[in-house]
Amino acid sequence: MAACFWFPGSAGEALSKNLAFWPTGPILVLGVAVAWIRARLRATTGDTQVVLWLSLVSALHLMGSGMGERSRYEGYLLVLLCLTHLWLSRPIQGQQTRPLITRGVILALLGGAIAFSPMMSRWGHHVLSVRNQHGQMHRFATTVVQGPVAVNDLGVVAWNNPYGVVDLVGLGSDEVRHWRVSRVRPTAGVLREAWTLGLLNPSTKDFIRDASLPPKLSPSAMRDLIERRGVKVIMIYEHWFPEVPSSWRRLGTLVTSPPDSAASRRVAFWAVNGSVAAELTPGLQRWITDLPEGVSFEAEAD
């Protein structure tokens, strides 16, 4: 989500995608527009301020965030939209009530609940997926490593973890974020190279998208960061970081069964060196025996 603000043109791209995402995008825009109409009809300063804040938050989300990632990002915004319309339905002394509008709002909220019921029915699978992957990573970090770990997907691993977590992507680490942002290719250079590829070339669009994104940490940058932060274990998606420092020693791979909601069903576990790997082996074996159903660990052969 934060990456949307890292390179030029992303706000417009995010806006177009979010507005086209059905049904959340159109519902949000329509809901905000109707809220403005209702606030004007009621003609109270408080109502206008509430709708103004709703509009500001909605605009920031539409231009700087995403929708459709299992509907986990826009949920708060839909709740805010519903609360705003409920607020606008309250009676005001000295003004005539409009029962027809109030009934329409109630029907719209019920319709929205029905439209989003399939999404809500899948939440149980998402929760189970988080427990099976991030929950087991958290258990490994707090019961076996008992020290700082590094990950590429913040979440449950960092929750109630007294030992600390280093984020290799940058959402939770200013150091990583500055490293990545400082190495974003200049827009002019990307466009010049895209021009040489040809505007009608099918691969040009993918090139512009990939070239404009902040680069991932290099193996040497990861190694230096890990050493400075005293990290012993790194848990990452391999396809996010295909290259790692040569001094790391692989412990194995955590594998979860579908259905799942994570970016990958496989998480590679690395130790910073061979001595740390040997030190963690007994605890790793005990941790493996307590893995829940549907979760396995492919230990690396000695």
Q: Tell me the per-residue pLDDT of 243-296, one tens digit each, with 9 for 90 and over.
A: 999 999 999 999 998 766 778 899 999 999 999 999 999 999 999 999 999 999
- Assigned domain for 237 exists: yes
State the pTM of this model.
Answer: 0.69
Give residue 27's pLDDT: 85
Give residue 7's pLDDT: 37
Q: Are residues 102 and 133 in the same domain?
A: no
Q: Are residues 14 and 134 in the same domain?
A: no
Give the chain's end-to-end CA distance (angstroms, integer): 39
Q: Are residues 156 and 263 in the same domain?
A: yes
- Assigned domain for 243 exists: yes
For residue 62, the Cα-to-chain-centroid distance in whole angstroms is 15
- Assigned domain for 259 exists: yes
Helix residue ranges per DSSP H, the chain: 10-20, 24-42, 45-64, 75-88, 99-115, 117-121, 123-130, 136-140, 174-181, 187-197, 202-212, 219-229, 274-289
Mean pLDDT for 14-34 is: 84
Q: Tell me the per-residue pLDDT of 44-99, one tens digit each, with 9 for 90 and over.
A: 888 999 999 999 999 999 888 777 666 667 878 888 888 898 888 887 766 666 67
CA atoms within 13 A on the CB side of 130: 14
Q: Are residues 164 and 289 in the same domain?
A: yes
Structural domain of residue 57, as residue ranges? 2-121
Q: Are residues 117 and 135 in the same domain?
A: no
Q: How confident is the model at residue 170 (pLDDT cuts 50, 70, 90)?
A: confident
- Assigned domain for 212 exists: no
Give residue 6's pLDDT: 38
Give residue 5's pLDDT: 38
Q: Are residues 42 and 108 in the same domain?
A: yes
Q: Are residues 138 and 114 in the same domain?
A: no
Q: Tell me the per-residue pLDDT of 186-219, one tens digit each, with 9 for 90 and over.
A: 666 666 666 676 666 666 666 565 565 678 899 9
Mean pLDDT of the chain: 83
